[in-house]
Amino acid sequence: MTTRAKAKADAQRTLALDILNHGALALVALLFLFPFFWMVSNAVRSNAEVLAIPVRILPNVYEWGNFAKAWSELPFGRFFLNSMIVSVSVTVITVVVSCLSGYAFARLKFPGRDQLLMAYLGTLMIPGIMLIIPLFLIVNNLGMVNTFQGVILPVAFGTFGSFLLRQFFLSIPLELEEAARIDGASRLRILVSIIVPLSMPAIGLLSLFTFIGQWNNFLWPLIVMTGSDNATLPVGLTYFQTQQGTAWNFIMAGAALSMIPGVILAIVLQKLIYNSIALNAGMGGR
């Protein structure tokens, strides 16, 4: 009797501890989510109420129309579209260029290949912010200030994609392409119809992180897009700060809207994101 009763008491105690453990972390998570709540809570009140003292956690009057008003106050739809154009274009160029170069590094023999690959890896150590000035001067000289080309091209040729896809291509068995080669398929044909379809996990990952990186990018569009109509979302958000004081409620509404794509992707693709980060963890930087 005693052992069974003891086991039962133990099980009950672990269960209680488990519930406590989950509950405590849930509390921390809720605290962590507070800024998101605060954003929405302030987006749906009048600007006077945002600034009212003392602070109110929930609005007195809910003004859900603020989202629509913020959208029309500044050319927000335009900012959204601009961000979309930039993020999608950079992603497409990055994927195409990285597929081509990744394949060359993984499968083709040419003199100096390994040295070139090392040089590519070396460029990954250069911090982006350092190159801002010469990049701006290049864009300026090419007459691309305030153009989409100016925002898109300088960030679309990173070397990380070439390296990532090379690593993935190496894991695809050679035999799969050999049959096609004997049939006389060109290398480009092999890349497009055999390698790329098999590499969708890696290409998806590269696309996801490139897209989000550009969607959230601030400094580069801030410098290149000087006219207000050409601004991307993050740059456009800062415009609420200067025009006739700060329209806090509209900024909050705009900020909340700008977060939607990232939040949706993070939730929907959580497994892919976890796996990709786990890959990093597994390699441990080796």
Closest C-alpha among 158, 169, 268, 167 to residue 213:
158
User: Which residue's CB is nearer to other proteins, number 7 or number 277?
Assistant: 277
State the nearest-atom distance from the C-beta of 206 to other proteins, in Å.
Answer: 14
Interface of this chain with other proteins, residues 57 to 86, rule: CB under 8 A = none
Binding window for other proteins (CB under 8 A); candidates: 62-70, 151-159, 172-180, 198-206: 151-159
Interface of this chain with other proteins, residues 30 to 49, rule: CB under 8 A = 32-33, 35-36, 38-39, 42
196 touches other proteins (CB under 8 A):
no
Binding window for other proteins (CB under 8 A); candidates: 50-58, 166-174, 175-183, 197-205: 50-58
User: Which residue's CB is nearer to other proteins, number 5 or number 271?
Assistant: 271
Given a contact cutoff of 8 angstroms between Cβ atoms, the answer to whether 166 and 177 are in contact is no
Quick count: other Cβ atoms within 10 Å of Cβ 231?
A: 22
Interface of this chain with other proteins, residues 1 to 30, rule: CB under 8 A = 18, 21-22, 25, 28-29
202 touches other proteins (CB under 8 A):
no
User: Which residue's CB is nearer to other proteins, number 5 or number 92?
Assistant: 92
User: Which residue's CB is nearer to other proteins, number 205 or number 256?
Assistant: 256
From 44, 45, 47, 50, residue interacting with other proteins (rule: CB under 8 A): 50
Given a contact cutoff of 8 angstroms between Cβ atoms, the answer to whether 171 and 201 are in contact is no
Interface of this chain with other proteins, residues 252 to 271, rule: CB under 8 A = 252, 254-256, 258-259, 262-263, 265-267, 270-271
Given a contact cutoff of 8 angstroms between Cβ atoms, the answer to whether 63 and 47 are in contact is no
DSSP state at residue 183: T
Quick count: other Cβ atoms within 10 Å of Cβ 281?
A: 10
110 touches other proteins (CB under 8 A):
yes
135 touches other proteins (CB under 8 A):
yes
120 touches other proteins (CB under 8 A):
yes
DSSP 236-271: HHHHHHHTTS--HHHHHHHHHHHHHHHHHHHHHTHH
251 touches other proteins (CB under 8 A):
yes
Please list, in sequence order, all residues whose beta carbon lies within 8 angstroms of the beta carbon of residue 187, skipping any fewer than 6 positions away.
103, 107, 108
Residues 47, 99: Cα–Cα separation, whole Å? 49
Residues 218, 230: Cα–Cα separation, whole Å? 13
